[in-house]
Amino acid sequence: MTSTAPEPVEDLLRDLRPRVLGLLVRRCGDLADAEDALQEALLVAATRWQVDGLPDDPRAWLVRVAERRLVDTVRADVARRRREETTARRDPASAGLAPAGLGGGTTPAARPAAPGGGPGEDGRAVDVDDSLTLFFLCCHPDLPPASAVALTLRTVGGLTTAEIARAFGVPEATMTQRITRAKRSLAALDRPFATLGPGEWDARLAAVLRVLYVVFTEGHTATSGPHLRRADLSGEAIRLARTVHALLPDDPEVGGLLALLLLTDARRDARTGPRGELVPLAEQDRSRWDHAQIVEGVRIVTATLPHGLVGSYQVQAAVAALHAQAPSTDATDWERVLALYSVLERLDPSPHVTLNRAVAVAMVDGPRAGLALLDGLDDALATSHRLPAVRAHLLERAGETRAAVGQYVAAAAATPSPAERDYLTLRAARLRTLP
């Protein structure tokens, strides 16, 4: 054991959890058993590491402890089955159970492991990060896409059920039921974590990209906690997006997602002021943006353009590139931004896309034109703070101060982010002081 911990234990455990879980699932083939074993190992680590210091290899330590728990589970299961078989032989009618091997299921030790190979350019398997492997395994095609994404976000992505519910715009209880049903559906499948062939990786790619996008979004603007940003989530999403891009360098949506994350994350240092307060895009000091990351993101999205504008992440990355390359908000090529949002609305229509297009319309044709587009979104975005926030901004630009104050207050009440709430409240207070 090392004498002192180089970083808080809870942060290290949070970082290690998905990687260890991926390895355990590959070895035992059962998600529920792997989660239970890992949870026990994490509890032991949280207590012992604080006292004894970190082990030389924390990841290997967690794997060893969790695997011991898995072995104990298998032994207990085998012993239980033997007792059931003995009871059944003595009195089959009263036991009401089938002997092992005749419809009684398999123990974790008997389930096939799911190796972590991904698709290479020649179709052969290549080594993939354990976390990414588990992302693909959880995004099972037999699950509805929304359920697969939700399960993966909860199991591997590091998000709470409440955070996932907010991302999907549904009540937390609804999301809990959705995740529970997804786990049950996987448990009922034959070998849900078996080796994936190249075609199976392709079938799950869209769901995995969605997971990475949601994880990054929660990291970029946290919906809980005192800070605007959670670097652990946004950083991990970018890391895994890079891995997917290395595996599939010619896929335009993979490249589009990575470029979008890089270009968005490049603004991270300029998004908060000295006291952690939110600084909106129009007021950011663009010299504080990560220009090396912008260059990389622009290069990646540009490389996808020969395929045409074929996917939503690719189009969003193109919009982000226009913002990143503009010297100011007013100098942004808003007509091209508007054209791209019109394309995006055809490719992947949603109320949120329309909301963003309304901002672009306002910058091109004036705030009242943008406001007109918002009128049909109240039902679809009834629980979102972004609709009243955008409406407030456009009303302010249109000179309707009193109406803008009301919308800023409504947006502040609806947002789960403390940093956003403070910004919106302050904006309303400033407008109240105007004549």
Locate tokens 């970018």: which residue? Answer: 238
Domain boundaries, the chain: 9-96, 360-435
Q: What is the pLDDT of residue 141?
A: 85
Tell me: pLDDT of 101 over 90: no
pLDDT at 351 over 50: yes
Read off the pLDDT band of 356 (50, 70, 90): very high
pTM of the full predicted structure? 0.76
Highest mean pLDDT among 92-101, 137-146, 376-385: 376-385
Using the predicted structure, report yes or no on whether residue 82 has a pLDDT greater than 70: no
Kindly tell me if the per-residue pLDDT of 186 is higher than 50.
Answer: yes
SS (H, E, C) the chain: CCCCCCCCHHHHHHHHHHHHHHHHHHHHCCHHHHHHHHHHHHHHHHHHHHHHCCCCCHHHHHHHHHHHHHHHHHHHHHHHHHHHHHHHHHCHHHHCCCCCCCCCCCCHHHCCCCCCEEECCCCCEEECCHHHHHHHHHCCCCCCHHHHHHHHHHHCCCCCHHHHHHHHCCCHHHHHHHHHHHHHHHHHCCCCCCCCCHHHHHHHHHHHHHHHHHHHHHHHCCCCCCCCCCHHHHHHHHHHHHHHHHHCCCCHHHHHHHHHHHHHHCCHHHCECCCCCECCHHHCCHHHCCHHHHHHHHHHHHHHHHHCCCCHHHHHHHHHHHHHHCCCCCCCCHHHHHHHHHHHHHHCCCHHHHHHHHHHHHHHHCHHHHHHHHHHHCCCCCCCCHHHHHHHHHHHHCCCHHHHHHHHHHHHHHCCCHHHHHHHHHHHHHHHCCC
> Which among 215, 209, 207, 210 is positioned nearest to 163, based on CA atoms?
215
Q: Say which range, 128-142, 163-177, 299-313, has the weakest mean pLDDT.
A: 128-142
Which residues does 52 contact at the CB level (< 8 Å), separation at least 6? 1
Q: Which class is 9-96 in CATH?
A: mainly alpha
Write down the mean pLDDT value for the chain.
84
pLDDT for residue 200: 79
In which region does residue 326 sit, left (phi positive, over 0), alpha (psi from -120 to 50) or beta (all else)?
A: beta
